Amino acid sequence: MSKDSLIPNSKIFFFSGPVVKGKFASSFLQLFSILGLASVTIFFVANAYIQKALTSHSENMPVQSELELAQASQGYVLQASTIQTANPNASEDSKRLLNWISNLPNRTDTRVISGQHAGSSSFERQYQTHIVDLSVRTGKYVGLMGLDLAWMDRNHATDWPEALPIIIDYWNQKGLISISWEAPNPAGSGIVNMAQLTTPGNATYNRWMTELEDTARKLAELQTAGVVVLWRPLLEMNLSRSSHWWCQASQQDFVNVWRHMFDFFTKDKELNNLLWVYSPATSSSSTTYYYPGGQYVDIVGQTFYIQNNPLSGIGNRGYNALTALGKPYALSEFGPGTGSTPPAIKTFNYQTLINGIKEYCPKTTYFMSWYEERAIYNQNNASGLLNDSWIITREEVDWKPTENVIFYDINNDSRLDILDLTYFLQNWGTPTPSRLDFNNDKIINSADYKILVNTLSL
């Protein structure tokens, strides 16, 4: 956890009570209960005493909790907060998944979701090669499966009907789903006047709305099946105009098109299963130029292709600017080679990717390896990558908590830990209604505190 997520020299309130049970009975809480310091402000200045409490009970705590408490003992208090979905009507699963993703950089391990794009046309074949065969080789399924919706059915009329049950099954097996959308040109070909896409009464607008309707229908099928989608439309908008028809539009026209699509999907079509991913191409200057605003975006990412030393220059080529937006960050499209030239088979060591993330972009929450020659399966050291301690595979996706965790997980990150306690203490004494009033007595007080600390599992 970086110090960006901590508040230096802050105060925090602890209220004494009976010695709490279970794993939470360790740590500094019990230390101050024993000292009888009731209803007082505790400043983290007695570092030696707190550290002693940590050390003596560390065998009862998971590694993550040890790290969090150790950092707190150095004079910092954890900042507990939740992240809101861009769509205020997003499903509960969408909200919880987003909060889980946003909290991954706070972990010490299992913190980067592995992703593999499975192509679009002839999806079933590429799914078998890139994901199923990869699992046979490594013993692991990637945590995130990707595809491009716009290319479905363009060359093979059965692409979407074949893909739909595979997507739903992958989700039901704990896998996450990312869908890109390289939308067809609504003008048919050539340069598109982007302003026409949001102005009724012209042929380009009519074709665009037809595309949105068809896309919404497919996404609605996933919503009916309970699938939350990391939705990545109109990607790489900062590339040259020859790359995609929506590239290099005027800033305001692109923003208007994005917002129009967002409103159409979320309000008109009530698609509440989408987490919106803004995903420019790597650039030293333009990654945030087309950003449509925080209220229209849930996750930020970038396309990043490398040749020799991956990620070493990513800081000034998008990572710093994108992470400054305050959203979860991802390598939403990654591959060895260049954007136009894939590498030869078996020439890239994929362990280099996770090593680069650790060193140069540790706030990365997931990566999406591109397909064909760039796929994990077609390069070296797939097992080293998927078995790295930082990597989350499908087997380790744990965003969906038990009923008990849901009730007491105050900051919605699918874990019961010190962040929930900190958030609770920050709201001490506030009036209800509130989900923090566990005993329903109309006030957040010591009775609720005792319930929480006896529930938390650190």
Digit-coded pLDDT (tens) for 89-138:
999 999 999 999 999 998 999 999 999 999 877 788 889 999 999 999 99
- Domain residue ranges of the chain, discontinuous segments joined by +: 3-80+413-455, 92-396
Arch. (CATH architecture) of 92-396: Alpha-Beta Barrel (3.20)
Predicted confidence at residue 306, as pLDDT, reads 83
Model confidence pTM above 0.85: no
Backbone φ/ψ region at 28: left (φ over 0), alpha (ψ -120 to 50), beta: alpha
pLDDT value of position 361: 96
Residues of the chain with pLDDT under 50: 1-81, 457-458
Strand partners, 364: 329
Kind of pairing between the strands at 115-117 and 176-181: unpaired
- CB-based contacts of 110, cutoff 8 Å, min separation 6: 389, 390, 391, 392, 396
